[in-house]
Amino acid sequence: MIGDSWGVEPTERVIAFPCDRLPEKFDAEYYRGVTVRASSAMTYRWLCQLRAAPYSYDWIDNWGHRSPRQLIPGLENLKLGQTVMTIFNLIDFEADRQLTCRIKPRTSPSRLFGDVVVSYLIVPRGERECRLLAKVRVTYPPGLMGRLMRGVLPPGDLVMMRRQLLNLKKLAEHEGHRASVQRRP
């Protein structure tokens, strides 16, 4: 299916993601991934910035406001139930490893997209490199809207999440490089 996978290896599709622990049956799963040349800790700090903004195409999903380009202190202090990317609630996290969120129930976005759960998983590949993977699980809404979303959501999410992951990659790499330069004698 168009849009069901981008940037992930077949072996990464079989990794156990935190969203897999949910007991519900979902209609579809989508995978996205990118290599980040920054530490897992730096990548996680930028992942926590999703509490402030979606980091994809701001003119579409952030009401035209630019997603912050500098780390906002305190956003890494996560608590279950916090808002992420405006339309999600944080349902699970592990420092420097993963962040999982679920679309807020009984809202306009949930009526449009259905039940959507996203796990962002950081897989270290050394001290200064990791993979930032995402798995999206969806239960489509009933009726005509659900049929429409089955065709629209996979490629639409691919476009938006690709931009999001590439932005987070760029920001984590830039911040990681800046931090390593500052540590040099």
Looking up residue 49, the CATH number of its domain turns out to be 3.30.530.20
pLDDT in tens, 5-58: 999 999 999 999 999 999 999 999 999 999 999 999 999 999 999 999 999 887
Q: How many domains does the chain have?
A: 1
Q: Determine, yes or no, domain membership for 100.
A: yes
CB 43 within 8 A of CB 122: yes
110 pLDDT band, cuts 50/70/90, is: confident
Say what the pLDDT of residue 83 is.
96
- Angstrom distances, CA of residue 107 to CA of 24, 88, 102, 110, 115: 19, 10, 12, 5, 10
Q: Over 80: is that where the pLDDT of 3 sits?
A: no
Q: Over 90: is that where the pLDDT of 67 sits?
A: no
Q: Determine, yes or no, domain membership for 184.
A: no
- pTM of the prediction? 0.91
Which structural domain range is residue 122 located in? 5-179
CA 149/CA 155 separation, integer angstroms: 10
180 pLDDT band, cuts 50/70/90, is: low
Q: Over 70: is that where the pLDDT of 92 sits?
A: yes
Q: Determine, yes or no, domain membership for 51.
A: yes
Say what the pLDDT of residue 141 is.
94
